[in-house]
Amino acid sequence: PVADPVDARTALPAVALARLLVSLCAPIFIALTGVAAYLFGTRHTLAETRAYLLKRGLVLMALEVLYLSELYWGVASPTLWLQVIWCIGICMIVLAAMIGLPRPVLFAVGLLIVGGHNLLDPIHLQPDQPFFAVWAMLHQRDVIALPFGLVAKTTYPVLPWIGVIVLGYAVGPWFLPKFATHTRERRFMALGCGMLVAFVILRLANGYGDKSWFVVEGDALRTTLSFVSLTKYPPSLLFLLLTLGIGALLLVALERM
């Protein structure tokens, strides 16, 4: 498995902060992909929307493998990096299969995935076990051996991200022109604050939702870095609460500008 790039015990504070800021991009972008899919669907039939998501999902997956991967950059050890573009592609394909479901069902499925996927953390398959490759792509960041000496690194296990795109699609109606701006702002303000409060409560409990944080005696900075050092691969519940909570508040701030 690929190691976490930032260790709160040793990382430079500037590096840790930069990583946290950059980490806002993927969850916000994938959630907005779900929103965009909903808005597309308001102007097209269900079949057209599904075809749109399916085609673009396949294109993104192909782009990751055939262009962005180091396999085509002359690397001595050919590796397929299944990263964020691949992840978005799979999420779009899964969403294509789900958009016919009622919104309450989509909300429930999205919340169940985002809130419950950390219960699956103890499941760790070995390469010689059945369904290892599938599980590595879904939830276990790992390396998959492929034919012809190739390997694939599942940098972005997709299961939690599927929950994010589904939730983005489910809140799509909030972005319709007929939806009052002040109502949308109020909802996203409440959503963002609620997610951040939930993050703080769960993080202080130091139990479910991510690896434990630690206190460094006499070093408040390292303790703080540990508190906000969250698992992104795959994204933990606490990672998503923090980043999407900030994202919701940013949306309100940008709309008011």
Asked if 226 contacts 234 with a C-beta cutoff of 8 angstroms, the reply is no
Express each pLDDT in 120-169 by its tens digit.
999 999 999 999 999 999 999 999 999 988 899 999 999 999 999 999 99
Residue 62 confidence (pLDDT) above 60 = yes
Express each pLDDT in 96-112 by its tens digit.
999 999 999 999 999 99
| Across 84-97, average pLDDT | 98
Task: For residue 216, give the amino acid letter.
Answer: V
> 107-115: which pairs have CB atoms within 8 A and are 24 or more residues apart?
107/167, 107/170, 109/163, 109/166, 110/163, 110/164, 110/166, 110/167, 110/170, 111/163, 111/167, 112/163, 113/159, 113/160, 113/162, 113/163, 113/166, 114/160, 114/163, 114/164, 114/167, 114/237, 114/240, 115/237
Q: Please report the pLDDT score of residue 86 as a whole number.
A: 97
Q: What is the dihedral of CA 67, 41, 192, 14, to 10 degrees?
A: 10
Task: For residue 32, give the amino acid letter.
Answer: L
Q: Where are the beta strands (DSSP E) in 137-220?
A: 143-145, 151-153
Express each pLDDT in 202-220 by its tens digit.
999 999 999 999 888 888 8
Residue 201 confidence (pLDDT) above 50 = yes
Averaged pLDDT of the chain: 93
Q: How far is CA 32 from CA 26, 57, 169, 224, in A?
A: 10, 15, 8, 29
Indicate the pLDDT class of residue 1, thresholds 50, 70 and 90. Answer: very low
Q: Which residue has the higher pLDDT, 75 or 135?
A: 135
Express each pLDDT in 232-243 by its tens digit.
999 999 999 999
Residue 76 confidence (pLDDT) above 80 = no
Residue 75 confidence (pLDDT) above 80 = no
H/E stretch holding 10 reads none
User: Domain locations in the chain?
Assistant: 13-256
The pLDDT > 90 percentage for the chain reads 78
Q: Which residue has the higher pLDDT, 6 or 191?
A: 191
